[in-house]
A and B are shown apart, each in its own frame.
Chain A
Amino acid sequence: MLTAVIALAALALLAAFGLAIAARVFAVPHNPKADEIEEVLPGANCGACALPGCAELARRIAEGKADIDACPVGGESAAHTIAAIMGMEFEGGAEREVALVLCKGSDQVAAKRFFYNGIYDCNSAVLVFGGDKACTYGCLGLGTCAGVCLFGAIDMVPGGLAVVDPEKCTGCAQCVAACPKGIIKMVPASRKLHILCSSHDKGGVARKHCKVACIGCMKCVKAAPEGAITMDNFLAVVDYSFEIPAEVAAECPMNTIIVTGDAAGACEEPAAAAGGDA
């Protein structure tokens, strides 16, 4: 019994001694804070921070080379926890942003100019005359953005239109980069009024192409506070630094403006509108 204990203890001691030496020889400088921060980060490695992976961001934050709110996905809650780890104060940074598809033209309302029978992918479709929709600005509806979304926040509604669920959206902006038409924009989550069109076509052309296009009538511009909605080459554009009253939406003769209500409003509304027009 005693020999057994002594023998094992001796073996263990020997091994421990060897490892201790090895740990000295092969020591890697290591920041324990980085590990803690990595625990807090979402771990999706989505690249929204423009760094290769969460571990890298954690290392940068621990070294003070990145801001504590650098992770847009983790948002404020992550920033608070990281601030605690780093022993810093977090004063609340930029507001949470969500992606928004600036198009409402599903197949029911938007005209097509030809029959596309190619690869089922927006980036491929855009190589053929810029896509099959008559409106060259609109959503192609082949779901490339939904494919790159790691959080399942983008739905393809029937009729080919991408719709972002602002509740699920983490603001990583992967879809913004994936969209060949560049019609997905990041908007502050608290803003409810959106103009869902990207067409710079003149009113008559836009109307011919799509039943819910912005025709540049400027009614919303007049109804909204000064400067809150501006015209950019026949397209009304919302300046999200303004609070715009919901009544402005009713001014739109084309039903292009939506007001997202509570919770899942943004997800439901365009789909319902598209269906209603069909």
Chain B
Amino acid sequence: MPKLVIIIISAVLVNNFVLMRFLGICPFLGVSKRVSTAAGMSGAVLFVMTMASVVTWLIYHYVLVPFGLTYLQTVSFILVIASLVQLVELVLQKLSPALYKALGIFLPLITTNCAVLGVSVLNIQKEFTLLEATIFGAGAAVGFGVAMVLFSGLRERIDLCDTPIPFRGTAIGLVTAGLLSLAFMGFTGLVKL
């Protein structure tokens, strides 16, 4: 149990996927203009990451290892993630067309979101159990969500400022992201995993 708590804290804060590992930067910059869309994206990523953690763990331990096919790890993981993203897309289009429209191209791009693949691979590398892998996947997604919502909130405020023209848009966004990342360094040493 203490280990699970440590895993969560580690995934959300100390080793935040976006701000400390610099994975999943694409949607982090792409859909962070409004808090509402950022939160929607985080929800989709939460689902995909958690499911991907479970399914890839199962596939690795019950398919790839027994058949000695561990070299197929990356290919099979991407297959799983792509399928899950397709599923989310179908569901979202049906249940929330507005969010589907707002996320646009970034929704199918979760497939290539390295944070998702990163979680799956780290699960194997760190030799987590299935429960730990699930918690780690969910925690990483929550960490992604925290970063997204914080960042989009900042960007909404920046929209109201007179940014010098060369810095407008993505430029000031990247500067802000860097500062946010520096701030998250403050969590280093909180837990050790």
Residues of A within 8 A of B (CB): 3-4, 7-8, 11-12, 15-16, 18-19, 22-23, 26-28, 55
Is B161 close to A, CB under 8 A? no
Is B160 close to A, CB under 8 A? no
Q: Is the CB of B72 within 8 A of A19?
A: no
Given contacts A22-B90, A22-B91, contact A15 B67 (CB under 8 A): no
Give chain A residues whose Cβ lies under 8 Å from the Cβ of B90: 19, 22-23, 26
Residues of B within 8 A of A (CB): 59, 63-64, 67-69, 72, 75-76, 79-80, 82-83, 86-87, 90-91, 93-95, 97, 101
Cβ contacts A to B, 25 pairs, < 8 Å? A3-B68, A4-B72, A7-B72, A7-B76, A8-B76, A8-B79, A11-B59, A11-B63, A11-B76, A11-B79, A12-B79, A15-B79, A15-B80, A15-B82, A15-B83, A16-B83, A18-B87, A19-B86, A19-B87, A19-B90, A22-B86, A22-B91, A26-B95, A27-B94, A28-B97
Closest chain B CB from A71 CB (angstroms): 19
Residue of A nearest to B101 (CB): A55
Q: Is the CB of A3 within 8 A of B94?
A: no
Give chain A residues whose Cβ lies under 8 Å from the Cβ of B101: 55
Q: Roughly how many angstroms separate A95 CA and B176 CA in the complex, as a whole number? A: 49
Q: Which of B68, B83, B93 has most A Cβ within 10 Å?
A: B83
Residue of A nearest to B92 (CB): A26
Residue of A nearest to B76 (CB): A11
Q: Is the CB of A8 within 8 A of B72?
A: yes
Closest chain B CB from A39 CB (angstroms): 15
Q: Is the CB of A8 within 8 A of B75?
A: yes
Q: Roughly how many angstroms separate A28 CA and B95 CA in the complex, as a whole number? A: 10
Q: Roughly how many angstroms separate A27 CA and B94 CA in the complex, as a whole number? A: 7
Q: Is the CB of A26 within 8 A of B83?
A: no
Q: Is the CB of A7 within 8 A of B63?
A: yes
Closest chain A CB from B48 CB (angstroms): 14
Q: Is the CB of B79 within 8 A of A26?
A: no
Q: Is the CB of B69 within 8 A of A28?
A: no
Give chain B residues whose Cβ lies under 8 Å from the Cβ of A15: 79-80, 82-83
Partner of B91, one of A11, A16, A18, A26: A26
Q: Roughly how many angstroms separate A130 CA and B79 CA in the complex, as a whole number? A: 65
Partner of A7, one of B69, B86, B91, B94: B69
Q: Is the CB of B72 within 8 A of A28?
A: no
Closest chain B CB from A2 CB (angstroms): 10
Closest chain B CB from A110 CB (angstroms): 32
Residue of B nearest to A27 (CB): B94
Give chain A residues whose Cβ lies under 8 Å from the Cβ of B72: 4, 7-8
A3-B68, A27-B94 known, 14 other contacts, Cβ within 8 Å? A3-B69, A4-B72, A11-B59, A11-B63, A11-B76, A12-B79, A15-B79, A15-B82, A19-B86, A19-B87, A22-B87, A26-B93, A26-B95, A55-B101
- Sort A-B residue pairs by CB-CB distance and give the 9 closest, nearest first: A15-B83, A26-B94, A26-B90, A3-B67, A22-B90, A28-B93, A22-B87, A4-B69, A19-B86
Q: Roughly how many angstroms separate A11 CA and B63 CA in the complex, as a whole number? A: 10
Residue of A nearest to B72 (CB): A4
